[in-house]
Amino acid sequence: MDSKPEAHAAAAYPRMSPEDLAPPPPPVVAPAGSNPYVLSSPSSGPPAKSTTENLREMLGSVGKRFGEAARKTEGIAGDVWQHLKTGPSITDAAMGRIAQISKVKAEGGYDKIFQQTFECLPDEKLKKAYACYLSTSHGPIMGVLYVSTAKLAFCSDSPVAYVTEDNKTESAIYKIVVPVPHLRSVTPTASQQNPAERYIQVVSVDNHDFWFMGFINYDSAVKCLQEAARGGA
């Protein structure tokens, strides 16, 4: 991953392969360790198997038509396609987005989800919420990045597996919380090999950095995060 910014180019729309539709293994990440901004909370369990299988079957049957249609679109559709391609499986990425949209509707919007997921100040207000991925050495983690008047916060869409000190595998919802006063810089970057792969690097005042990628609305996210790093207006 190259940290030098590059001009954006339209996302390419490759043909979907059987690997794109196959269920991937869950990412296994290291525990938070000494990073004060990484949190976790108990998982509520995976969705019902029948629902997952039905969604996968449905998406698999329309996958080829979706790929053909996506290749004919431009603009923000490029970000959507890149978002789906960021994960190890297009099917699971699409399933995740469907589940997230359903959750937002059922719970009354991102504001309520944000307040239920994170501890908030009495006068804290949510400014924006972005579907994206957190880049880790073990693979991208799908979730939502929230930008409020007080903090930048990320929450994974589903439980993430990790290995404990006694070599056991457990799972938990993966969270990141960086208070606005702790933000040092927000830098948009792109891969030199594939400019469609665009990232946002967030660095804290104590030099902890986080890489976010696969934004559905990348330009808006860059603007909002940079405003937050400057203190917001």
Amino acid 206: pLDDT = 94
H or E stretch covering 69: helix 49-71
222 close to 188: Cβ distance less than 8 angstroms: yes
Model confidence at 17, pLDDT cuts 50, 70, 90, reads very low
Q: Which residues of 103-128 are buried (b: 16+ CB within 10 A; e: fewer)?
A: ebeeeeebbebbeebbebeeeeebeb
> Which fold would CATH assign to domain 25-229?
PH-domain like (2.30.29)
Amino acid 41: pLDDT = 73
Amino acid 191: pLDDT = 81
* pLDDT value at 158 more than 70: yes
Amino acid 111: pLDDT = 87
Model confidence at 82, pLDDT cuts 50, 70, 90, reads low
Amino acid 69: pLDDT = 45
* pLDDT value at 200 more than 60: yes
Q: Quick: pLDDT tens for 161-183.
A: 877 778 888 888 999 999 999 99
3-state secondary structure of 176: strand
Amino acid 169: pLDDT = 84
Q: Quick: pLDDT tens for 84-103.
A: 555 555 556 556 665 666 66
